[in-house]
Amino acid sequence: MRPLSDLTFRTLLVTLDDDGIATVTLNREAKRNALDAATIDELIDVFTALPRAGARACVLRAAGPHFCAGLDLVEHWQADRSAAEFMQICLRWHEAFNKMEYGGVPIIAALKGAVVGGGLELASAAHIRVADAGTYFGLPEGQRGLFTGGGATIRVAGLIGKARMIDMMLTGRLYRGQQAVDVGLAQYLVEDSEAKAHELALAAARNPPLSNFAICSAVSHMQNMSALDAAYAEAAVAGVVNTQEAARARLEAFAAGTAARVRPD
């Protein structure tokens, strides 16, 4: 695996600041950040490298007024792909999004404008989604004569349930605003989604990396297991995380009465 500093990007912008906050920007504004094959390859590269590059959290944002217009429909049409070829494309999408969901680095998606089709699949692989008033969510696959291929049947159905997902795909129904939060497409609805995403990334980055690794990989893995196996795996993960050196000082501070209490403002 090549380190982050060795990677070059054509469709992404990637930075890592002194707080350990990585910012990954979808940078194809002219095409509304539609996901072509090159962008998916770059997402695989960056999310393979980030966990080992010292990133403590990541903001996933986009250039321009829209987060992401989904699959690059023009590339797909021009390539006139066979079923086998498109299956391989989908496997690359899964690789990218699995790197995100299971990579152990908290990813906060700063959303705006269209979050549609594969764009929603991408956003769903983040750990937290922050929307603004102009953000809208859709799955226009049915109207395009397509089907989801980037994990929506798992992640979007997991967020909102299969009945709502099927409705979105069949009818083109869009969600936005408080309704999008209420159904589970976003966890925050704010004026400035980028500022909020950065604030949340900084908050997450203050946790010990091993705790974040568990939170941002184990929960997802455990959803894939039987309840019995998930409970066993939870105990094993907690055995490692809850006895880490980094937790000792925090526990000591609590015992001494100097640690912050968990109280609403």
List alpha helices for the chain, DSSP H.
37-49, 73-79, 83-102, 118-124, 141-144, 152-160, 162-171, 177-183, 193-205, 209-213, 219-223, 227-241, 245-255
Q: How far is the CB of 117 from ligand 1HE (least distance, A)?
A: 2
- Phi and psi, residue 55, nearest 5°: -70, 130
Q: Which is nearer to ligand 1HE, 74 or 259 (CB)?
A: 74
Q: Which is nearer to ligand 1HE, 31 or 61 (CB)?
A: 31
Chain positions 192 to 211 lying near ligand 1HE, rule: CB under 6 A, are none
Of the residues 29, 141, 194, 234, only one is catalytic, namely 141
- Phi and psi, residue 78, nearest 5°: -65, -40
Q: List the structure tokens of 185.
A: 């497409």
**Residue 214 parent element (H or E):** none
Q: Is position 74 an interface residue for ligand 1HE (rule: CB under 6 A)? A: yes
Would you call 141 a catalytic residue per the annotation? yes
Q: Over 35-48, what HEC string results?
A: ECHHHHHHHHHHHH
Q: How far apart are CA 159 and CA 153, in angstroms?
A: 10
Which residue from 4, 114, 115, 159 is in contact with ligand 1HE, where contact means CB under 6 A?
114
Would you call 234 a catalytic residue per the annotation? no
Q: How far apart are CA 49 and CA 45, in angstroms?
A: 6
Q: Which is nearer to ligand 1HE, 123 or 201 (CB)?
A: 123
Which residue from 92, 94, 144, 221 is in contact with ligand 1HE, where contact means CB under 6 A?
144
Inter-residue contact 259 to 253 (CB < 8 Å)? yes
Contact characters 17-36, ligand 1HE, x per CB under 6 A: --------------xx-x--
Calculate ∠ Cα 67-116-105, nearest 5°. 55
Inter-residue contact 133 to 153 (CB < 8 Å)? no
Q: How far is the CB of 58 from ligand 1HE (least distance, A)?
A: 22
Q: How far is the CB of 253 from ligand 1HE (least distance, A)?
A: 47
Q: Is position 109 an interface residue for ligand 1HE (rule: CB under 6 A)? A: no
Q: How far apart are CA 25 and CA 16, in angstroms?
A: 12
Q: Is position 71 an interface residue for ligand 1HE (rule: CB under 6 A)? A: yes
Q: Is position 176 an interface residue for ligand 1HE (rule: CB under 6 A)? A: no
Q: How far is the CB of 207 from ligand 1HE (least distance, A)?
A: 33
Total residues contacting ligand 1HE by CB under 6 A comes to 23
Q: Which is nearer to ligand 1HE, 32 or 56 (CB)?
A: 32
Could you list the residues that contact ligand 1HE (CB under 6 A)? 31-32, 34, 66, 69-74, 90, 93, 114, 116-118, 140-141, 144, 146, 148-150
As annotated, the active-site residues are 121, 141
